Amino acid sequence: MQANPILVEQTRGNVVENRHRGAFVVVDATGKVIASAGDVARPVFPRSAIKSMQALAMVTSGAIEKFGLGDEELALACASHHGEDVHVTGVSHFLSHVGMGPDNLECGAHQPTNAAAREALRKAGGVPTPLHNNCSGKHSGMLSVARALGVPTAGYVTREHPVQVEVRKAIETVVGETLSVDRCGVDGCSIPTWAAPLSAWARGFARMATGEGLPDELARAATRVFDAATSHPLLVAGTGHLDTLAMQAFGGRVMQKGGAEGVQCGAIRHQGWGYALKCDDGNMAASQVMVATLLLELAEPDAAQRAVLERFATPTIRNVRGLEVGVLRATEEMRG
């Protein structure tokens, strides 16, 4: 098997210290390739990059209408949030809508991702709860699906639970690919994660952006999910994060979401294109260089949008004294 191309380099001084291989693909809703590099047919776990696809089950199950959920709850269902006050409060309200509480979440607890939120929790003598878990919004959405379906909420994270069956069915319809148990793992937050080709994930995002090839109900659901996430980008990630800043800058034209181990997925909505990429070694900073470069090349940014993306496309490497010691930068394979 041929190695994927080097898409990002990290320098130290004037010497290339690290090289990050990967693959990316941009397609339209028919699967026509707009741009690509590397092996885009190799199955990858998309991790949190497809939370917007998982959130479709909230619509198909009737949970939104049943519990009066709004765009903020939908945005949180798409989120890998940073555990800031706005996120913790939002998820708490989300759970109260469906008659659930933090103890019903099966995602586990971890410290807030945001440093200021982490320090505030420490100073207050608090301990992290499942509300602080970056996936607690998604899990709240899955609890709402369980309640809407009238099935037990306990064990909603397991592969054969009706909630995960509903989630899987929606994803398969969107990507046009059977999700095989032979390519199934357990995500960091304990739900199933399914591997499929990068090209399938990209096509799924293009179909969500356009509605092409989707049943009417799912097409409307996809529009609502994307609109909710892009209208509330702070809820989807957090202060200073690429996902939040890019969606704020593009004002609904771009849906962007990162996932663990160097995955980035999204849609350039006004073009009707979806994209997916994977940094082979899982380096998140390198994957952000890749997706920022991709959006610079293809999303037709204005000056303000370009300024946001360039921060992530060529980030400076600094040592503990704050001295500039290197830079991350895309290669010609990525820019071509």
For 130-188, what is each residue's pLDDT tens digit?
A: 999 999 999 999 999 999 999 999 999 999 999 999 999 999 999 999 999 999 999 99
In a domain, 35, yes or no: yes
264 vs 213: CA distance, rounded Å: 23
CB 4 within 8 A of CB 22: yes
Write out 84-150 in H/E/C secondary structure: CHHHHHHHHHHHHHCCCCHHHCCCCCCCCCCHHHHHHHHHCCCCCCHHHCCCHHHHHHHHHHHHHHC
Tell me: pLDDT of 1 over 90.
no
CA neighbor of 16 nearest in space, from 333, 328, 336: 328
Write out 10-55 in H/E/C secondary structure: EEECCEEEEEEEEEEEEECCCCCEEEEECCCCCEECCHHHHHHHHC
In a domain, 11, yes or no: yes
Look at residue 191 in the predicted model and tell me its pLDDT: 98
Look at residue 73 in the predicted model and tell me its pLDDT: 98
Grouping H, G, I as helix, E, B as strand and the rest as coil, residue 258 is strand
CA atoms within 13 A on the CB side of 294: 31
In a domain, 172, yes or no: yes
Structurally, how many domains does the chain consist of?
Answer: 1
The helix (H) or strand (E) run that includes residue 274 is strand 273-279
Look at residue 165 in the predicted model and tell me its pLDDT: 97
In a domain, 1, yes or no: no
Over pLDDT 90: what percentage of the chain?
A: 99
Read off the pLDDT band of 335 (50, 70, 90).
Answer: confident
In a domain, 208, yes or no: yes
In a domain, 38, yes or no: yes
Query: Can you tell me the mean pLDDT for 37-62?
Result: 97
Look at residue 25 in the predicted model and tell me its pLDDT: 98
Which CATH number characterizes residue 312's domain?
Answer: 3.40.710
Q: Is 332 exposed, middle or buried (0-12, 13-18, 19+ CB in 10 A)?
A: exposed
Helix axes 216-231, 242-250, angle to 10 degrees: 100
Look at residue 134 in the predicted model and tell me its pLDDT: 98
In a domain, 56, yes or no: yes
pLDDT tens across 272-287, in order? Answer: 999 999 999 999 999 9
Could you tell me the residue range of the domain that residue 165 belongs to? 6-335
The helix (H) or strand (E) run that includes residue 164 is helix 162-175
Task: Name residue, tokens 């890998």.
Answer: 80
Grouping H, G, I as helix, E, B as strand and the rest as coil, residue 184 is strand
The helix (H) or strand (E) run that includes residue 233 is helix 233-236
Query: Can you tell me the mean pLDDT for 8-35?
Result: 97
In a domain, 306, yes or no: yes
Look at residue 2 in the predicted model and tell me its pLDDT: 87
pLDDT tens across 308-329, in order? Answer: 999 999 999 999 999 999 999 9
Residue 201, number of CB atoms within 10 A of its CB: 33
CA atoms within 13 A on the CB side of 303: 0
Considering the entire predicted model, what is its pTM? 0.96
223 vs 272: CA distance, rounded Å: 12
For the chain, give the mean pLDDT: 97
